[in-house]
Every structure is written in structure tokens, then in C-alpha cells.
């Protein structure tokens, strides 16, 4: 039996609309990523610089750390920008969507909760920690490859993902709350906002300082500790 | 001569910027380096008092910038330590009396003439701080282990990073070992984790600082207190010496005062 994506064995770069599609076979997960990335960047680095990328994850079993390695080994060195993610495996696509990754193709229409069609908005990837006083406002999802420090703010139209420590103010889903999440690698903030909901939190919570995901469930912000 | 121009700043007031500036200026001068300490807190002059030079001020930084006098005329030379000078702030003017460009020009005019220029910055992130930082290549950010001070320091570090300072180091001041051990005060490692910059010094809370400030005799002028030793170590690290950082949870045990108490305690016991 052939697993999905088995026929695509190599890292590939293809054109799609006005963007580039990076096809990443699952065999590049882990230690092979660095070598594959080096070969790809040596050939296509100049083309990728500043380009909008659709990252297409082929095969099974993708984890958060695998995806971070794609960003660290290919996207960041190429100075490219991820505008959408795809995953061949339904399970991977499902958890990535729940974690706030923009799984729509650029320009693809989606129907938000209010019933009005709107264009999918690019994700914003921040490749550094946000210090106190910094404020990011973005219509789409915001992914921070670092910490959100106390006194810093992210106001996002979509989801907010902070891979490091979340101590500042994260406000996800500025005008909607049904399909957005806040994900933190280490949650240490006293207030969180999703859509029109505000939750006040203190360090007595059992999940304080732990990786969590947050979403609105039945009109309240529900928190789930991410384990494993 | 390569001049190192270092701004001592914090964001939050009252964390010990002036004390750090005065003590490091004295210590570096005592090591044989020529040092100018600039008080950039215009309108709230303090460095002269802490350095014990308030009676000898004739001109100030605003006089230099407005060309009412030459720079050497405004520099107050310390009589106790050779090669130590103070450029005092004006007390009767406000921060708007100086612009960033003027401060930059002033700092550049000191290059090649002195080994170190230490600039005591005012608190805040407004024009006073920006002027103080304008001419500096390096920054020492003073922080106390409390949440508000750390948050303000984080803000300051962000601004300094955007100004592309050559190096930004952290001095953690007023550390109380007992409070850290009992979990009532942020640990130095917590501060380091949050601010993510190099720690160049950990200064224990020390009553001698108050006394020395009031007397105008910085601790590094001769005291052997724990804080004095910590300041000496900071200046050593500024000079590139490899001096390990102390354990911030054991200042009480290792402090000189405690050591003397233990010594006398033992003798008393024997006697």
C-alpha cells in the first residue's frame, strides 16, 4: 500500500498563481531537513527571497517541531513569507487548522461565521520576541517565533500563535470568535481576549506556565492544556 | 585612544542609575582610565551630589551646548581620583534645552580624549532618555528585580535595539537574597529569561549605598561592602575581565558583614 505523497520524494518548488508552492515530502522531517534545505536554497534561494510561499506538507505524521524546522531551515534563510499552509494528511491539516495556521490558499474564499464572504488574509510571521511597548495589528493570523513579553500586544483578525512565552496581551479574532484560537508555548498572561470575550487569569491556574490553546466555546473562553 | 561611550539607563526611576554611574566612574578612574561622567538628567541634577562634587560646579552641559563656555571649563575634575571628570546637568533648565544632535556632537567631541564616557540617563522614554542615548555606543540597563522595573527595562531595551547600540548589558540592582529564596522577589534568572540580554552585574541591596550617597563618597572609593565589591566586579567585566557572576541567593551568607559577624561569633564562642 502506498502512503499519500509517497510518489513525491524530493523538495520541490512550483509556481502557483502569483506565489511559490514549496512541496515538502514527509521524509524530510527531522535530520534530513537541513541537508535538503541547503540543496534547495543553493539552487532556488534568490527566487524565494521575499516571495509569498504556500507550504505544502506531503505525507503523514507532521508535528509542530517539524513545521518549525521547515520555517527555520527554509523559510527564514530564504527571507520568504508563508502565505498559506497545506497538509496532505487530514489529521495534520486538522490540528494545524485548530492551532491557527492559515490553511486557505491565497485568494481562496471562505465563509466566516457572520455569513459574509471575504478574502483569506495572509498570515503574519514574526521572527523575534516582542518586547514591552511593541504592538502588532494584523487582519489575519499572527505567528510569533519567540516570546510576547509583558507590555507587548498583538491584535489579530485571525488566530494568535506564540511559540514561546505569552506574557503580553493577545487579542485574537477582532471581529469574530468562532473560528479563531490563541496558542501559547508557555502561557503566563493575566488577560486574554478572543473576539468580544475577555478572560482574566492568575497564576493559580493549573495550566499557568504551560502550553495551552484557547478558543470560545459556548460563549466563554475555554482553555486546553497541550500535552505531549 | 578608543573612547567607549556608555549610557546608563533603565526606563523606571529610582532603580539606581545614578548610583551605578557614580560607582563605575570612580572605579574605572581608580583603575587608571580617564573617565567623564555626564549627568544627562537636565532639570533634576543628582550625579554631582552622589559624586560629592556639587560645590565645585561653575558651568554645566547646557552652557557647553549653548557655547556659553568651552567643554573643558565645564568639566569638574575630581580631586580624590585622578582622571575623573564630571559634566554636570543644568538644574534650572528642562530636557528640551538639549537636542539629540547636540548631544551626539558633544559626545563625539570627547572621543579620542578619554577612555570612558558614562552618561547618566533620566528615567522615562521621552526626549531626555533619547538625548542621553543618542551619543552612546553601548548601554547599561539598570533593573531591580520587580515586575514594573523589568517591564520598563524591556521597553528601553527594545528602543536601544532599534537604535542599533553595539552592546546592551544588564545590571540587576538591589537584589535581596532572602526575598528571592522565599519567592517574594523575582530571581535574577527570571529577569534574565524575560529580558534576554547579557547580565554584567548583580548588586546586592546594601544600606551603605544610602550612607555613601548622602556623603558624596561612592562605595567604590574605599568601602569593602558587598555592594562595593559588586560594583568593582561590574567595572572589571566592562574592562573585559572574566569574573563569574555571584549567586544572587547567597549574598547574605557571603557578604562581608555576615562574614565578620560569623568570625566574631566564632571568636566569642571560643572565648
Q: Which chain A residues touch B194 with a CB distance below 8 Å?
A: 147, 149-150, 167
A149 touching chain B per CB within 8 A: yes
At residue A121, the pLDDT reads 63
Give the span between the Cα atoms of A3 and A58, in whole angstroms. Answer: 10
Which residues in chain A touch residue B196, judged by CB atoms under 8 angstroms apart?
Answer: 129, 147
CB contact under 8 A, B159 and A129: no
CA distance B170 to B8: 10
* Domain boundaries B4-270, corresponding CATH code: 3.40.50.300
Band (A107; pLDDT cuts 50, 70, 90) = very low
Q: Which CATH class is domain A122-225?
A: mainly beta
- Look at chain B and count its residues: 271
- Judge contact between B137 and B56, C-beta under 8 A: no
First to last CA, chain B: 58
What's residue A95's pLDDT?
85
In the prediction, which pLDDT does B260 show? Answer: 53
CA-based nearest residue in chain B for residue A166: B194
B155 vs A129, A132, A165: nearest CB = A132
> What's the pLDDT score for residue B253?
52
Residue A148: closest C-alpha in chain B: B194
Mean pLDDT calculated for residue range A73-81: 88
Q: Give me the residue spans of the domains in chain A.
A: 12-98, 122-225
Q: What is the pLDDT of residue A6?
A: 40
In this complex, do B196 and A132 lie within 8 Å of one another by their Cβ atoms? no
Q: Tell me, what's the pLDDT at B92?
A: 87
| pLDDT at residue A17, as a whole number | 57
Average confidence (pLDDT) per 10 residues, chain B, 271 residues: 95 95 97 97 94 94 95 96 95 89 96 97 93 96 95 95 92 93 88 94 93 92 90 97 92 56 46 32
Q: Please, which pLDDT band fits residue A31 given cuts at 50, 70 and 90?
A: confident
Mean pLDDT value of segment A10-33: 79
Sign of CA dihedral B152, B154, B159, B164: positive
Task: Tell me the shortest Cα–Cα distance from B153 to chain A, in angstroms.
Answer: 8
> What average pLDDT does this structure show over A97-107?
71
- B152 CB near a chain A CB, below 8 Å? yes
Query: CA B152 from chain center: how many Å?
Result: 17
Q: Report the Cα A63 to chain-centroid distance in Å.
A: 12
Q: Which of B205, B219, B207 has its CA nearest to residue B30?
A: B219
Q: What do you get for the CA distance between the two ends of chain A, in Å?
A: 29
Do the chains contact at B155 and A167, CB–CB below 8 Å?
Answer: no
* Distance of residue A46 Cα from the nearest chain B Cα, in angstroms: 27
The confidence score (pLDDT) of residue B113 equals: 96
How confident is residue A117, by pLDDT bands cut at 50, 70 and 90?
very low
Residue range A133-149, pLDDT digits in tens = 999 999 899 999 999 99
Best mutation target among B158, B159, B191, B197 (most A Cβ atoms within 10 Å) is B158
Q: Give pLDDT, residue A195.
A: 93
**ipTM for this model:** 0.74
Mean pLDDT value across residues A196-217? 93
Evaluate the CA torsion angle B216, B220, B226, B231 in order and state its sign. positive
Q: Write out chain B residues lying below 8 Å of A132, CB-based.
A: 151-152, 154-155, 158
Q: Which residue in the set B154, B161, B193 is minimally distant from A151, CB to CB?
A: B154
Q: How far apart are CA B219 and CA B208, in angstroms?
A: 8
The verdict on B155 touching A (C-beta cutoff 8 Å) is yes
Chain B residue numbers with beta carbons less than 8 Å from the beta carbon of A147 are: 194, 196
Give the separation between CA A14 and CA A3, rounded to whole angstroms. 22
pLDDT (0 to 100) of residue A105: 54
| Contact residues, chain B, for A151 at CB < 8 Å | 151, 154-155
Rounded to the nearest 10 degrees, the angle between the axes of helix B207-215 and helix B226-238 is 80
Output A42 or B123, whichever has higher pLDDT: B123
Q: For residue B158, list chain A residues with Cβ-Cβ distance below 8 A.
A: 131-134
In chain A, what percentage of residues exceed pLDDT 90?
38
pLDDT of the residue at B65: 95
DSSP A74: I
Asked if the C-beta of B124 comes within 8 angstroms of chain A's C-beta atoms, the answer is no
Beta-carbon count within 10 A of A61 CB: 11
Query: Residue B62 in contact with residue B98, Cβ under 8 Å?
Result: yes
Q: pLDDT for A65-76, tens place per residue?
A: 888 888 888 998
- In this structure, chain A runs to a length of 228
Interface residue of A126, A128, A131 to substitute, partner B, most B CBs within 10 Å: A131
- Name the more confident of B256 and A79: A79
Amino acid at each position: 500500500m502506498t502512503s499519500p505523497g509517497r510518489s513525491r520524494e524530493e523538495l520541490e518548488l512550483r509556481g502557483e498563481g502569483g506565489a511559490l508552492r514549496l512541496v515538502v515530502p514527509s521524509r524530510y522531517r527531522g535530520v534530513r531537513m537541513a541537508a535538503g534545505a541547503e540543496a534547495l536554497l543553493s539552487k532556488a534561494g534568490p527566487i524565494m527571497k521575499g516571495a509569498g510561499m504556500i507550504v505544502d506538507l506531503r505525507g503523514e505524521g507532521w508535528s509542530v517541531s517539524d513545521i518549525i524546522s521547515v520555517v527555520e531551515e527554509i523559510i527564514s534563510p530564504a527571507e520568504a513569507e508563508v502565505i498559506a499552509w497545506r497538509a496532505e494528511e487530514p489529521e495534520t491539516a486538522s490540528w494545524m487548522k485548530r492551532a491557527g495556521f492559515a490553511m486557505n490558499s491565497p485568494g481562496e474564499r471562505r465563509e466566516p461565521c457572520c455569513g459574509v464572504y471575504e478574502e483569506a488574509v495572509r498570515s503574519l510571521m514574526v521572527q523575534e520576541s516582542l518586547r514591552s511597548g511593541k504592538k502588532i495589528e494584523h487582519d489575519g493570523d499572527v505567528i510569533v517565533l519567540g516570546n510576547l513579553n509583558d507590555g507587548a500586544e498583538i491584535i489579530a483578525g485571525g488566530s494568535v500563535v506564540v511559540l514561546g512565552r505569552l506574557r503580553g496581551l493577545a487579542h485574537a479574532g477582532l471581529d469574530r470568535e468562532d473560528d479563531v484560537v490563541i496558542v501559547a508555548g508557555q502561557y503566563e498572561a493575566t488577560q486574554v481576549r478572543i473576539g468580544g470575550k475577555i478572560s482574566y487569569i492568575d497564576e493559580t491556574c493549573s495550566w499557568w506556565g504551560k502550553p495551552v490553546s484557547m478558543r470560545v466555546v459556548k460563549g466563554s473562553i475555554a482553555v486546553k492544556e497541550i500535552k505531549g | 585612544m578608543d573612547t567607549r561611550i556608555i549610557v546608563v539607563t533603565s526606563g523606571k526611576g529610582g532603580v539606581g542609575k545614578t548610583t551605578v554611574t557614580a560607582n563605575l566612574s570612580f572605579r574605572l578612574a581608580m583603575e587608571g582610565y580617564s573617565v567623564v561622567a555626564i549627568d544627562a538628567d537636565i532639570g533634576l541634577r543628582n550625579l554631582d551630589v552622589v559624586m560629592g562634587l556639587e560645590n565645585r560646579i561653575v558651568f554645566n552641559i547646557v552652557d557647553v551646548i549653548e557655547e556659553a563656555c568651552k567643554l573643558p571649563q565645564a568639566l569638574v575634575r575630581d580631586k580624590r581620583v585622578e582622571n575623573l571628570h564630571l559634566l554636570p546637568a543644568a538644574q534650572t533648565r528642562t530636557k528640551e534645552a538639549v537636542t539629540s544632535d547636540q548631544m551626539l556632537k558633544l559626545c563625539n567631541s570627547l572621543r579620542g580624549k578619554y577612555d570612558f564616557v558614562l552618561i547618566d540617563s533620566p528615567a522615562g522614554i521621552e526626549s531626555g532618555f533619547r538625548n542621553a542615548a543618542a551619543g552612546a555606543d553601548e548601554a547599561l540597563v539598570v533593573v531591580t528585580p520587580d515586575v514594573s522595573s523589568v517591564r520598563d527595562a524591556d521597553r528601553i531595551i527594545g528602543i536601544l535595539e532599534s537604535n542599533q547600540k553595539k552592546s546592551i548589558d544588564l545590571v540587576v540592582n538591589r537584589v535581596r537574597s532572602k526575598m528571592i529564596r522565599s519567592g517574594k522577589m523575582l530571581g535574577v534568572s527570571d529577569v534574565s529569561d524575560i529580558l534576554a540580554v547579557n547580565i554584567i552585574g548583580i548588586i546586592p541591596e546594601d544600606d551603605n549605598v544610602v550612607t555613601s550617597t548622602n556623603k558624596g563618597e561612592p562605595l567604590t572609593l574605599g568601602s569593602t561592602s558587598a555592594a562595593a565589591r559588586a560594583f568593582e566586579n561590574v567595572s572589571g567585566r566592562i574592562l573585559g575581565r572574566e569574573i563569574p557572576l555571584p549567586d544572587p541567593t547567597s549574598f547574605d551568607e557571603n557578604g562581608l558583614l555576615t562574614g565578620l559577624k560569623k568570625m566574631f561569633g566564632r571568636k566569642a564562642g571560643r572565648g
